[in-house]
Amino acid sequence: MNVEPTFQAGLQESTIKMTCHANISNYKWKAIHLEYKNESTTITLMSILPTYPNLISENDVNATISSRNEIVNITFAIPIPEMMTDCTKTLEFSCIFLFQDETVEISNDTGTVIIKGNEF
């Protein structure tokens, strides 16, 4: 499983895109979570089940599922809010796959986003 891109830069009040790819040909997945992490907290922004439609919107995040069987591809469009700061922030977004067979280890990958601060 991997996340693309693994590193990107964004501006406040812009939208970034991140794609999760996984070859799960031997397993059935039960959920995919998109998590956000900053210096102090981790939040699940979206959870996707295999029965969900191809286009999903939750917590201002949009997801497009382009395949869901042997190869799973999900593209997330994530809005970056205005942070009212002149500091540069580092955010991490993780894609986490949970499988129906609980003996299969959880699979995840993380992409890093650098958000440029406001210039005053």
Return the amino acid letter for 20: C
Residue 4: exposure state from Cβ atoms within 10 A (0-12, 13-18, ≥19) = middle
Domain count of the chain? 1
Could you tell me the CATH number of the domain that includes residue 34? 2.60.40.10
- The pLDDT tens digits of the residues spanning 77-111 come to 998 877 666 778 888 899 998 888 888 888 888 98
Which residue range forms the structural domain that includes residue 32? Answer: 2-116
Name the amino acid, one letter, at 57.
S
Average pLDDT over every residue of 21-37 = 86
Write out the DSSP string of 63-103. EEEEEESSEEEEEEEEEPPP---SS-EEEEEEEEEEESSTT
